[in-house]
Structure formats: C-alpha cells, structure tokens
Structure 1
Amino acid sequence: MKTRSQMKNVLHLTHTDIESDSRILKEMGALSDAGYAVSGIGVVLDEGAQKSTVSFSADITAINLHSRRLTFLPRTLRHIATLFELVAKMLPRAVRARPNVIHCHDTFVLPLGCIVKLLTGAKLVYDAHELESNRNGLTRLQGVLTLRVEKLLWRFVDALIVVSPSIERWYHETIGSKLSAVILNSPLFYEGRQQDKNYLRKNFGIPTESKVFIYVGILGNGRGIDLLTEVFKDPQISSHIVFLGYGELSEELKILAALHPNMHVHEAVPHSQVVPIVQSGDFGLCLVQDVSLSDYYCLPNKLFEYCFAGLPVLASDFPDIRSLLAEYGIGECCRLQVNDIRDAILRLERSETIFRFASLKPLSWKAQEGKLVALYQQCLPTSDH
C-alpha cells in the first residue's frame, strides 16, 4: 500500500465551488479510488447549490474572490480582474502542492494551469465542461477571447476531457488533435437507493391519476423554462410539472406555482438525492434551447439523471441527444416550440407507450471512471505511476 507521499499528486483547479460541483467531486473520487492523491483549489460561491459530502480523502481549499463584487465594472473588465485575482491567490498554493498532474476545469483556470505546469513540470489535463468559447451567457467578446486563450495555450495541454462526442470533434477540428476522452456527466447512483415512489405526489398533493413531468437543473434563461410554463398553463394539459433546482427564475416560478395548481417548485437538494427524487416522477424534461453551440452539442447531466431514475425523457432535437435517446430507447425528441412541446406532452400523458430501455451500463459513472483512469494512464507513463 502506497503512502500519500508515494502517490502521484493530482491538483484540480476550478473557478467553481468544488463541494457543490458534482462533476469535479466524482472525478476526484474516481482518481482517489485509482490510487492518486487528490487535492483541489476552488472558490467560495453562494448561488443556492447544495454542498455534497466528500467521501474520499482530499485536501480541498476554497478562496474568496473579492473582484466578483465589482459590479460597477463592465462584465468583461470584471471577468479580467477576477482572473488576475484568481491567479494571484491560487498560484502559490498550486506550486506548493507540487502536483504531477494539474486538472483544469474550464478555460478560466487554464492560464493558471499552464503557469503551474511550467513551474513544476506537471502534466496538464484540460477538462472542458462545455464548448467553452460558444456557450450560454458569454458575450461575443468573451467568446472570442476564450477561443484565443484556448488556441494560445493548446500546446501546453497534454490531455483533453469533454462532455459529448460533437464537442470532442469540434475541438479536434477547430483547435487541434489531442489525446482526449468523452466523460459523460452521469450521476453517481447506487441501485436500490430509492425514494418513496409517491414522494412528489405526496409532497405537492398531485392526484394519483395525473402524470408528473420533472425538470431538474438550473432555473435560468435559455433552458426552455418559459416554454414549459406556457405549455402547462394550457387547460388541455392534465399533467403536473415539478421544477427541481435553483437559479434566477426561482422566485418567478414560485409565483407561477401559486397561481397554477399543476406547477410546483422543489428546493435544490444535494446531488446524491436527485435521482431518488426523480424516480417518483413519470417523465423527465430536457428541453435545452439552441442559444449556443455548446447547448446544441450538449449531453446534460439531467439527461442521465432521468434515465438512471427509469424515466423516459422528452428532449431537444439536438444531434448528440437524439443519437443517445435512439440508441438506448430512453425517450423522444421534439422541436422547441410551444405547440410542439404541448403536443408531445399530450401524446405522452395519454399514451400507454412503454419505453424499453437498453442496458445503461455504458452510460454509468462506473464506465466514465474507467475512461478517466485510462486517460490518466496514457498521460502519465506507467513508470511514473
């Protein structure tokens, strides 16, 4: 058995709160189980997300970024100020960690990762949680700057991790070929851990005969929420909808829920509780809007949370989503128009169609762990690990 000092050190860098970021925690846990010593430096955020319990040995640090409060500055200037503060505060800690691998989550910490690589000789893994330069919420200028940063620093990247096949292809074709792996954002879910199958009906007083559609995720713009609320106002719809999450639209949705008895808002819960709660619904909703190339090529974590909960999915008709739903028989797609969504929901609530799921093992987090560890083994020569 190796002591911690004999293990290869993996340092995760991110501009998010690590203890609220399920993807980072799952990857850290997988690497810890594979025999690496893992640590992470993130930031303090208070966005309403629930923190998760860390079940593995890890040194996790969260720093305060005061520049994020400079709201009087234009967004791009504030972004740059935050970057400089992040590098200044994280760099000494990162160098002291003497990592063998720096695992950078998203472009914001990539410059820092490259500096640490040059100072320590570590390998650099770039984990793009989205198509970073063309994603929802970026201004045009931020998108251009992000792509330039990626292209400038690409030669320092030893391995790339992405969240969908189309995004992997985009990076290879647009920036350059790189050792890479698609790590799907599947839930860490244990069979047999199930909530009461009537939990949502009991919690919100939903009639037994009514179908329950559930939306999981950020309650923000660009996620089809406005379309869903419009659809569920329609008197033809007998189903109920539950929104589970947090975000800028939370209060607006609570007001709508008070006015419409078939709309409900469930407070955010830790990631470990999402799938058990979702199991008490009938259908999952994954209607991402085509507001960026990253959204068009996405495979969101909610898609996997639904299918591992056993719920068929009504999803956006985007290439990677359509391919996944067809291959595993886990749902259907529709166009993002109110009439099309309403027709699809009416069809699902009235139909006795049974979706016959294929084996979900290739989509499981255990399968993703295998791909992650294999990438690390390719990145670090056997003699080094």
Structure 2
Amino acid sequence: MKRKKQIIVSVTNDLVSDNRVHKVCTSLKEMEFEVLLVGRKLKDSQQLTRSYQTRRMHLFFTKGACFYAEYSFRLFLFLLFRKADVLLANDLDALTANYLVSKIKRVSLVYDSHEYFTEVPELIGRPRVKRIWEWLEKKMVPNLKHCYTVCNSIATVYNKKYGTPFQVVRNIPVSKITVQPNEKENQQKIILYQGAVNIGRGLEQAIKAMHFIEGAQLVIAGDGDIKEQLEELVRTEKLDNKVRFTGRLSIEELAKLTPTADLGLSIEEDLGLNYRFALPNKLFDYIRAGVPVLASNLPEMKAIVEKYKIGAISNSHDAKRLAESINEALNNSEKRKIWKANLVRASKELTWENEEKVLKGIFAQFL
C-alpha cells in the first residue's frame, strides 16, 4: 500500500476559529495527505474536534517580540525532528521556522499569505518593528516557489515586489455544510460584526453609530487586542442595551449565529495597504448565510459587493454618516429584496468547492 505523504501545517493562533486553515487542512486530507496542524494553546482555548491531527503548543509568552521568538524557536525544533514531506506556513509570523527547516531537511515548502503582513495597522507607526518583518520577508519570499494568498491585489504586490508568483485562493465558505441558525433572542434587528477585534476594523465608529440607530443591536463576535477597550467604550457611551459581545466563537457556533443577522459589517478603515486590499473571511460568510453586507469603499470588498449586488458601500467612518448607511441598509425593503435574491445566486457561485481547485492544483505535485 502506498504511503501517504505527510504535511505539517503551522499557524500562530489557537486553531479554534481559523476557518481558512481548517478548510485547507480538510481539502488536503481529502487529497489523501496525512495532515498535522500545529498552533498554540491559550488559557481559554476551547477543545478541538477535527478530522485531521492537531497539536497546540503551550507557550510562556502570549504576545510581542518574546512570543514570536519563542513560537518560532519551538516550531523550528518541532519541525526539525518531525517527519514531513511538505511544510505549509500560514503567514509571515510562521514562515521563518518553516523556511529554515525546509532548507536544512530539503523539504518542500508552501506559503499561504492570509494578508499583506508588513502593512497591518499594528505595524503602522512602529517603523523599527516593521523593518524587522520586512527584512525577514525580503530574505525569504523571493526564494519561495509555491505561494498563494487571499486576493488578486496582494498577489500582484508580492509579484512586483519580489518577482515571486502568488496564486489566489480566496477564503470562501464550504457550500455542502448547512447549519441551522439559532433563533433570535428578541425581535430586534441584528447588525453583526464577526472576526478579529483589532484596530482599524471600524468598530469604535460602529459602536458610536448605535446612538443614531433604533430597533437594532450591534453584535460583535470575536476577540482581539482592543476588545476590553471597546467594552469600556460601550459602558462610557451608555450603550449596554444596544451592543453585545460574544467573545471568541468556534467555527460551528459562528455558523449558527451569522444567519440570524439582518446586516453584516465589513467596514475596515484604510490604514495601510493590508486593509486597503482586504478581502475578509466574514464577507464571504455573510454571503453564504444570506446576510446583506455593508462594506468599506475599499477595492477588493467593493468589487465583490458591486459585482453581485448584495449590499451597500459606506463612504465614511463618521459615526453619524455610518449610522445613516446602516439605517438605509436595514430599512430599505426594496433594496433588501434585491440583495436577498442576489445573495442566493452569489452563494452558489462563491463556494470553497470551486475555490479549492486552485489549492489542489498547487499540492497535487507533491503526491
């Protein structure tokens, strides 16, 4: 019997809510790879049930330079002494250990860039830290042969910058999995934001916009660096009855929540090229769940919303003007009827089953 090729997939998060990595691992398993996904375990990490193997490392540090150094060193040692035919690194923060081991052991390396890492808002205004990541990227990316990313804009940038061809695998939901939504707790309309609760996601403005919105609740589903800050903002603005935080949800929990929403927000601010070129997971999750979208006037998101006519574009992050856009999207019944019909058609076309053909083409050469 032919031995299955072993692939180790690595990422810096705790694996619980990373839908892109989960879909990739599932597709690779379907291709008859033996998959091992490596991440880290946090104090509040939920238990995992996956169809492939997982391993989560307990780390002493949880953020900052010490975390990245510890994670890279631990991952390097793990990969060095673990048998694998292929290594898959997710994002620049997981690439260094994979790159070094691939050179030492002469193992094939594939790179999945989930974002334009060196242009994330967290690095804007931190030139020294940014230069370190740019130096690492410059040392490794030009030497990579097998790469893919989340949208055409980022693929084009990397190709021009380093001469490295990147294919595009968008983070689109699986069509064959249908989850029944939870019932709404009340008759209020739900404005949903799901994803990382970090700077530049338009969340401060969305919270303040709730002063001008009636009959609706803003639900923020996720966790991140500014969650506590946003919770304090809600208390300060006396909006406790209009804003709800769910915390980090599993993939299954989120799949039940999303279809209950009346409007999905994807209102990233134009803070650097990473957000300007953003094509977030949540946009496709909203589409799959049949939820109309309010998106920022940024090229990749705008192109999807306008191509399929499944929502509106917000041209301002001013709280009052943002509230006007939200109210219009929630209450214009004629537009919503059109959006709902178009969402059905878009969800049939935008499926992981279509998108994974590119992914399987990349990895088929290693079988």
Structures share a fold, TM > 0.5? yes
The one-character-per-residue Cα deviations of 1:269-312 (angstroms, maximum 9, x if unpaired) are: 21122132121121111111122211110111111111111011
Counterpart AA for 1:115: L
Q: Secondary structure at the match of 2:114?
A: coil
Output aligned runs, 1:65-76, within 5 Å. 65-68=59-62
TM-score (norm 1): 0.84
Counterpart AA for 2:329: L
Q: CA deviation at 1:50?
A: 4.6
Q: Which residue of 2 aligns with 1:244?
A: 221
Q: Secondary structure at the match of 1:222?
A: coil
Q: Which residue of 2 aligns with 1:93?
A: 78
Equivalents in 1 of 2:56, 2:216: separation in Å? 42
Q: Secondary structure at the match of 2:364?
A: helix
Matched, 1:339 2:320: yes
Work out whether residues 20 and 52 of structure 1, in 8 Å CA contact, stay in contact via their aligned partners in 2.
Answer: no
Counterpart AA for 1:118: K
Q: What is the aligned counterpart of 2:4 among 4, 7, 14?
A: 7
Q: CA deviation at 1:362?
A: 4.0
Counterpart AA for 1:213: I
Matched, 1:264 2:244: yes
Change (3 A) 1:181 1:314: same
Q: What is the aligned counterpart of 1:217 among 195, 201, 212?
A: 195
Q: Secondary structure at the match of 1:23?
A: helix
Work out whether residues 283 and 314 of structure 1, in 8 Å CA contact, stay in contact via their aligned partners in 2.
Answer: yes
Work out whether residues 98 and 120 of structure 1, in 8 Å CA contact, stay in contact via their aligned partners in 2.
Answer: no
Q: CA deviation at 1:190?
A: 4.2
Q: What is the aligned counterpart of 2:346 among 352, 359, 362?
A: 359
Change (3 A) 1:301 1:143: same
The one-character-per-residue Cα deviations of 1:55-99 (angstroms, maximum 9, x if unpaired) are: x232x2222332447xxxxx5xxx1x4444334322332123232
Work out whether residues 13 and 39 of structure 2, in 8 Å CA contact, stay in contact via their aligned partners in 1.
Answer: yes
Between the two proteins, the alignment pairs up a number of residues equal to 355
Q: What is the aligned counterpart of 1:177 among 164, 180, 183?
A: 164
Q: What is the aligned counterpart of 1:298 among 254, 264, 278?
A: 278
Equivalents in 2 of 1:13, 1:45: separation in Å? 16
Matched, 1:288 2:268: yes
Q: CA deviation at 1:212?
A: 2.3
Q: CA deviation at 1:258?
A: 6.7
Work out whether residues 218 and 242 of structure 2, in 8 Å CA contact, stay in contact via their aligned partners in 1.
Answer: yes
Change (3 A) 1:51 1:337: farther
Q: Which residue of 2 aligns with 1:25?
A: 22
Counterpart AA for 1:151: K
Q: Secondary structure at the match of 1:360?
A: helix
Q: CA deviation at 1:360?
A: 2.6
Equivalents in 2 of 1:244, 1:84: separation in Å? 30
Q: What is the aligned counterpart of 1:229 among 199, 207, 213?
A: 207
Output aligned runs, 1:301-340, within 5 Å. 301-335=281-315, 336-340=317-321
Q: What is the Cα-based RMSD across aligned positions, in Å?
A: 2.4
Change (3 A) 1:91 1:243: closer
Change (3 A) 1:220 1:151: closer
Q: Secondary structure at the match of 1:214?
A: strand
Work out whether residues 189 and 275 of structure 1, in 8 Å CA contact, stay in contact via their aligned partners in 2.
Answer: no
Q: CA deviation at 1:267?
A: 4.0
- In terms of mean alpha carbon deviation, does 161-170 or 346-355 score higher? 346-355
Q: What is the aligned counterpart of 1:160 among 147, 152, 166?
A: 147
Work out whether residues 103 and 125 of structure 1, in 8 Å CA contact, stay in contact via their aligned partners in 2.
Answer: yes
Work out whether residues 100 and 121 of structure 1, in 8 Å CA contact, stay in contact via their aligned partners in 2.
Answer: no
Change (3 A) 1:121 1:243: same
TM-score (norm 2): 0.88
Counterpart AA for 1:233: H
Matched, 1:57 2:14: no
Equivalents in 1 of 2:48, 2:290: separation in Å? 23
Q: What is the aligned counterpart of 2:329 among 348, 356, 369?
A: 348
Q: CA deviation at 1:239?
A: 2.9
Counterpart AA for 1:7: K
Q: Which residue of 2 aligns with 1:34?
A: 31
Structure 2 segments unaligned to the other structure (5+ residues): none
Q: Which residue of 2 aligns with 1:72?
A: none
Work out whether residues 314 and 332 of structure 1, in 8 Å CA contact, stay in contact via their aligned partners in 2.
Answer: yes
Change (3 A) 1:256 1:314: farther
Q: CA deviation at 1:34?
A: 0.8
Equivalents in 1 of 2:134, 2:253: separation in Å? 36
Q: What is the aligned counterpart of 2:118 among 117, 126, 133?
A: 133
Change (3 A) 1:62 1:349: closer
Change (3 A) 1:31 1:212: same
Equivalents in 2 of 1:342, 1:146: separation in Å? 37
Equivalents in 2 of 1:110, 1:268: separation in Å? 25
Counterpart AA for 1:287: I
Counterpart AA for 1:349: L
Counterpart AA for 1:246: D
